[in-house]
């Protein structure tokens, strides 16, 4: 990617964050008021013009504001995002929820995907050995995405097992973000996919992920997947399956 100045980088980060918050194209006056820049809106507007010329932001034809492009999102994720750790209270809540899953003996993949969808406020999935679950597609529908995009997401979820194995075989890491068509499997150009490989204690691998609009909260979702993946990799998943087996047969159909 082209190098941009520090000020342009800060403006790009502010546009990504403000657009993620509001869902509306961001103007120079709005940035001047909300983002604490010690420069005029005219100067911000000039810098935004540079960012537009270099392909980091674009202007919807119906608005005077700007939105990030796929290139802008990628630069933000790779270079600008201040990594956010989940707060201690949120970590505790996630830990308690995962323990509750164990105690209630409910199907693991579906429960993990539901937990992720609730925390990420989007669609989520979990593909674990003998256990696959998806949740939260209705939240993607409510984001007012085009019907064709929603269909592409539904198709991805329907073929999750196939696509998940392809992603694992391609060496997906912990955690990776794919914006639009960057994904190495069929995926919509209008959304982003954040995924993490899960290295289970048995040596087998799984995959958890979050699907949402490009204006999703990347830092939070990345931290969320990192933390849940860490808990599963530490043996919680195996312990859940052990308890299923101990009561006379696992609802998941086997052990990790």
Task: Give a yes or no: residue 253 inside a domain.
Answer: no
Domain extent, residue 58, equals: 6-80
Tell me how far CA of residue 133 lies from CA of 110, 182, 208, in angstroms: 4, 24, 10
| Tally of domains in the chain | 2
Q: What is the pLDDT of residues 55-88, one digit of tens each?
A: 999 998 777 789 999 999 999 888 877 655 577 7
- Strand pairing category for 205-213 and 57-58: unpaired
Sign of the CA dihedral running 111, 116, 119, 124: negative
pLDDT digits (tens, 9 = 90+) for 198-247: 987 778 889 999 999 998 999 999 999 998 888 888 765 444 333 323 33
The whole-chain average pLDDT of the chain stands at 82
Question: Running DSSP on this structure, what letter comes out for residue 154?
Answer: H
CATH number at residue 218: 3.30.450.40
pTM of whole model > 0.75? no
From 128, 131, 148, 150, select the one nearest 139 (Cα to Cα): 150
Cα(198)–Cα(207) distance, rounded to whole angstroms? 6
Q: What's the confidence (pLDDT) of residue 33?
A: 85
Q: What is the pLDDT of residues 99-148, one digit of tens each?
A: 766 554 346 788 889 889 988 878 999 998 878 999 998 888 777 788 89
169 shares its domain with 234: yes
């Amino acid at each position: 990617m082209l190098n941009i100045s520090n000020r342009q980088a800060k403006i790009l980060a502010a546009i990504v964050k403000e657009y993620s918050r509001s869902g509306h194209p961001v103007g120079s006056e709005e940035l001047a008021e909300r983002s604490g820049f010690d420069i005029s809106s005219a100067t911000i507007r000039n810098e935004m013009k540079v960012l537009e010329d270099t392909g980091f932001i674009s202007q919807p034809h119906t608005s005077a504001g700007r939105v990030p492009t796929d290139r802008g999102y990628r630069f933000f994720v790779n270079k600008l995002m201040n990594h956010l750790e989940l707060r201690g209270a949120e970590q505790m809540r996630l830990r308690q929820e995962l323990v509750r899953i164990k105690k209630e003996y409910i199907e693991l993949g579906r429960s993990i995907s539901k937990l992720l969808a609730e925390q990420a406020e989007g669609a989520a999935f979990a593909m674990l050995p003998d256990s696959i679950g998806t949740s939260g597609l209705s939240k993607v529908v409510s984001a007012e995405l085009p019907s064709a995009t929603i269909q592409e997401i539904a198709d991805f979820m329907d073929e999750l097992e196939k696509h998940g194995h392809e992603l694992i075989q391609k060496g997906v890491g912990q955690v990776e973000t794919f914006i639009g068509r960057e994904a190495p499997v069929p995926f919509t150009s209008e959304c982003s996919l954040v995924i993490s490989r899960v290295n289970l204690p048995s040596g087998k691998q799984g995959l958890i992920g979050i699907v949402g609009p490009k204006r999703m909260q990347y830092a939070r979702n990345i931290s969320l997947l990192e933390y849940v993946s860490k808990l599963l990799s530490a043996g919680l998943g195996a312990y859940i399956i052990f308890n299923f087996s101990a009561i006379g047969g696992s609802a998941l159909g086997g052990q990790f």
